Amino acid sequence: MITQIPRRPWTQRWHVKPIAWTILIVVLLVTSSHMTGVDVAMFFTNFGQFTDLLMRMSQPAWDYLPVIIRPLYETIQMAILGTTIGAALAIPFSVLAASNLVHNRWLRGGIRLVLDLVRTLPDLLLAAIFVAIFGIGSTAGVVTLAIFSFGMVSKLFYEVIETIDMGPLEALESAGANQLTIIWYAVLPQILNQFVSYFLYTLEINVRASTVLGYLGAGGIGVFLQRSLNEFNYSQTAVIILATLVVVMVIDGVSNHLRRVLL
Amino acid sequence: MEATPIISFKHVNKIYENGTVGLKDINFDIPRGEFLVVVGLSGAGKSTLLRTINRMHEITSGEIRIEDEPIDQYKGRALRLLRRKIGMIFQNFNLVKRSSVAKNVLSGRVSYYPTWKSILGLFSAVDRQKAVQSLQRVSLAEKFYARADELSGGQQQRVAIARTLMQDPKIILADEPIASLDPLTTKTVMDILKRLNQEDGITVIVNLHSVALAREYADRIVGLRAGEVVYDQQIADVTETDLNRVYQTV
């Protein structure tokens, strides 16, 4: 029988570690805001301009709605196309990048390097490049979204694959199945619902991203957003933002429903 | 009775990369149609021994022959064909829980099909019928379309046995098949294994913790301690005191 619990060392008793971490983080935050010249006070002094903008946007020009339905529709189509292409490409890459499936460190490292590279390219840069290649229009937008989703989805996918139960893989292997069959029968069923869920999440991000891509001439609702902002026609901007919000909310609702059903 | 044994270990050693001895000079034969139970403490090398038979684990030296063929050179397709005739049952059932019972059972048959056919699920009517029959043998045909995670542990293990039957195995390896089951389902699962052994003549090798179960079902008991065979007796010659020696720590 132990009658006395062991004494804690003094570092634990005085919580040295958590306190040190907190101080370090605060110091880092303060110095980085100092070095980059971020003026927090400016946020409050110029707050008036923000409310002014909000006031002007508070009267949405509802008659503008019929005009933006088509481009909004086009935006959704672009997002669906781009996300689907990107996610489909991501599946083989994520399988090859998963450490529990590919034991060859060089192959896995190579694939991950490619994925890191793709993720490093900002979507705006990609859009600018593809507008230059394909000309103004939604082709550039779709290709941009496909590559952007590919980079993001592959990482999410291989992290999901790394958490699966390896038991069924062992069973299939012991039954004499080859690698591809093992992946099809033992890996895919385990990750499918999370794939769908990440796919929908990416789709939602892409709908929002494609509004910005329109700025660079990559098609969709963004073209109209840019036009209304250039003309200082904030009541039209408000309609576009609200319509986009509705689309994002619908996608969110659908993805929540699907996730519940699929789980 | 000098028929060739179905499995034969000759001076089999296994040393892990970190220097741990997994198996030490294993030497014994398993005749066709035997119900062999391997007993021993956790970490004695039971699972390792079982997995060397279907090359899920590699050995360091020595030779394992199956149906008088050395298996250490098998690669690719030849290795898959070896594994096809050796069924395996696991402690955790290892079913794909989100798939249907039917799909799990049929997945035991994939090694008989080219990859594209298994991926598209193009199983022949004969094999679909076979899947139903396999489930009937474990008395679970009514669960054909159920999802695997809707079943209890004992039922899942029976589905796993049905999946193994789809391979038309000559040998069944069972690694602690009842370790996560209650006493009643334990009996069901062990009875099924015994029946497959007796009716189909499948050679069955089971790893068990329980000496009582081993004595009830085995034709022969092999005891492992620290990777060495320290006990090997036909069931008629097994005595309680001898068997307890296997579990002595030193």
Express each pLDDT in A79-130 by its tens digit. Answer: 899 999 999 999 999 999 988 888 888 998 999 999 999 988 888 888 888 8
Mutation site, A165, A173, A174, A190, interface B, largest B CB count within 10 A: A174
Of B88, B96, B108, the CB nearest to A190: B96
Per the document, the length of chain A is: 263
* Contact criterion met (CB < 8 Å) for B119 and A180: yes
Our CA angle for B118, B113, B129, nearest 5°, is 80
| CB-CB contact of B203 with B172 (8 Å) | yes
- How big is the A-B interface in CB pairs under 8 Å? 79
Amino acid at site B155? Q
Could you tell me the CA-to-CA distances from B76 to A141, A176, A179, B91, B197 in Å, in that order?
A: 44, 10, 10, 27, 29
Interface predicted TM-score of the whole assembly (ipTM), two decimals: 0.88
* Contact criterion met (CB < 8 Å) for A175 and B111: yes
Which chain A residues are closer than 8 Å to B86 by Cβ? 174
| CB-CB contact of A71 with A199 (8 Å) | no
* Contact criterion met (CB < 8 Å) for B84 and A167: no
Band the pLDDT of A263: cuts 50, 70, 90: low
> Nearest-CA distance from A158 to chain B in Å?
19
Percent helix, strand, coil in chain A, to 5, is: 80, 0, 20
Which chain B residues are closer than 8 Å to A181 by Cβ? 110, 115, 118-119
Query: What is the tens place of the pLDDT at every residue in B65-109?
Result: 998 888 888 888 889 999 999 999 999 999 998 899 999 999 999
Which chain A residues are closer than 8 Å to B97 by Cβ? 165, 190
Burial of A235 (0-12, 13-18, 19+ CB in 10 A): middle
Amino acid at site B187? K
Residue B1 has pLDDT above 50, yes or no: no
Of A175, A181, A185, the CB nearest to B96: A185
Q: List the structure tokens of B71.
A: 């298996």
Query: At a CB cut-off of 8 Å and minimum separation 6, what does B94 contact?
Result: A167, A168, A170, A171, B160
Band the pLDDT of A2: cuts 50, 70, 90: low
Amino acid at site A105? R
Task: Give the pTM.
Answer: 0.79
Distance CA B174, CA B46 (A): 11
Locate the chain A residue with the closest alpha carbon to B115.
A181
Query: What is the tens place of the pLDDT at every residue in B113-139?
Result: 988 888 888 888 899 999 999 999 998
**A residues 167-206 near B, CB within 8 Å?**
167-168, 170-178, 180-181, 184-186, 189-190, 192-193
Query: What is the tens place of the pLDDT at every residue in A211-257?
Result: 777 777 777 788 888 888 888 888 888 888 888 888 888 888 888 88
> Nearest-CA distance from B229 to chain A in Å?
25
Query: Is the minimum CB–CB distance between A1 and chain B shorter than 8 Å?
Result: no
> Nearest-CA distance from A64 to chain B in Å?
48
Q: Positive or negative CA dihedral for A90, A94, A96, A101?
A: negative
pLDDT at A224: 85
Query: Is the minimum CB–CB distance between A263 and chain B shorter than 8 Å?
Result: no
* Contact criterion met (CB < 8 Å) for B80 and A176: yes
* Contact criterion met (CB < 8 Å) for B80 and A170: no
- Rounded to the nearest integer, the mean pLDDT of chain B is 88
